[in-house]
Amino acid sequence: MVDIATVGTFLVASAASFFMAWAIGAGSSGSTPFAPAVGANAISVMRAGFLVGLFGFAGAVLQGANVSEAVGRELIGGVTLSPIAATLALSIAAALVAIGVFTGYPIATAFTATGAVIGVGLAMGGDPAWAKYREITALWILTPFVGGGIAYVIARILRGESISESSVLVALAAVVGAVVANIEFAVLGPPDGGASLAQAAAGYVPLSSGVGVPLATVGMMILWAAPTALGVRNDPDRAQRRFLLVMGGLVAFSAGGSQVGLAIGPLIPLSGDVGVPLLALLVGGGFGLLAGSWTGAPRMIKAIAQDYSSLGPRRSISALIPSFAIAQTAVLFGIPVSFNEIIVSSIIGSGYAASGSGGGVSASKMGYTVLAWVLSLAGSIVVSYAGFRVVSAFL
């Protein structure tokens, strides 16, 4: 029989989790993906907000398991988060995010949620999960260089005269098709894992997996490249805007898969006690993202789109492609990552290709943002650790 107190604790934690999901949906993961397309007049603000909510929900349900499991079970060793610890982690993280939302300080959700779980886990007497921390740190440090570098290269190629822009766009579509073919979906794999579209398609081909998966990948590349080639031949500008819309959808989908775990991960240790399956948590987190995107994202999209309109379609495409790839890498390895960090670094990289500068992002502003990220992580660890100690003393 389920304990009433445990159910009550789970409901309190779920409320904090839903607020976290709402803040994520209303923030960068809900407003950034389609802002370039809005800035290029390829889609209206309200339609963008509607679509980003749907894509984010789909990503949360289909790809959110890896990051959710990592946040809930892999950030601390030797102990399992207690109901009180999980509730405190979510409540403190949600409160810090709320402070950032209402005061305008750039408090990073990924750093805050990760730090909160680590803080309460250490306060419980758990051991630091150094192997996981090395993975997380490596991705966090490499993201600005990899994302910015890829965006720089793509923007330079698009601006170059040696290869036509139409040919580059078709090649980029093929590359994106290859990535889409090999990202994992929970519904395609066995109960304890996922499988990619290429792996699923290879199962219908009477060839070994060593041949079937590459063959399916090539087929997906052709499926993505062919419509783009036809579009750029008929109307290059319209094809470019359509490509922006497609990339916006993929980035929104990836954001849902990578960010929902920040909201529902701490609930996973509690879910077994109350009999709530992971899929139900993912659906609940997805609805939180959806609500945030539909209620809060349109205003943010409109504001951010003004910045993207000065970037132009080329720089926007250059920024969205590495954002999609990095977000999917985070999903694959189950690593919580800041979507703000991904997007900002990609924009700066494309900006250097266009004008030799950071695209209007000042060094002082960037330094202030990085400092806010570091303080978000350190502050959430300290506050969560102290909060659990205080609550434990009274209980």
Q: Which residues contact 180 (CB under 8 A, 6 or more apart)?
A: 197, 220, 224, 250
Question: What DSSP designation does 126 have?
Answer: P
For the chain, what percent of residues have pLDDT higher than 90? 26
Span of 30-39, 143-152, 337-346 with lowest mean pLDDT: 30-39
The CA distances from residue 296 to 112, 299, 305, 341, in Å, are 20, 6, 15, 20
Neighbour tally for 203: CB within 10 Å:
12
Joined together, the tokens standing for residue 29 give 């993961």
d(CA 50, CA 54): 7
- Going through the chain in order, the beta strands assigned E by DSSP cover 76-77, 127-128, 184-185, 195-196
How much is the pLDDT for 54?
Answer: 93
Closest to 152 in 3D by CA, of 162, 161, 144, 141: 144
* pLDDT beyond 70 at 50: yes
Residues in the chain: 395
> Rounded to 5 degrees, what are φ and ψ at 258?
-90, -25
Q: Are 262 and 107 in contact (CB under 8 A)?
A: no
Q: Kindly report whether the global pTM for this prediction surpasses the value 0.75.
A: yes
Q: What is the pLDDT, as a whole number, of residue 299?
A: 75
pLDDT in tens, 337-363: 888 788 878 888 887 776 655 555 556
Which region among 55-64, 172-181, 277-286, 366-375 has the lowest average model confidence (pLDDT)? Answer: 366-375
Q: Is the pLDDT of residue 395 over 90?
A: no
Q: What is the pLDDT of residue 209?
A: 58
Q: Please, what is the average pLDDT of the chain?
A: 83
Residues 218, 277: Cα–Cα separation, whole Å: 36
Higher pLDDT, 139 or 299: 139
- Does 122 have pLDDT greater than 90? yes
The b-or-e profile of 292-310 (16+ CB within 10 A means b, else e) is bbbebbbebbbebbeebbe
**So what's the pLDDT on residue 175?**
93
Structure tokens at 316: 């926007």
Tell me, what's the pLDDT at 221? Answer: 92
What type of residue is 40?
A: A
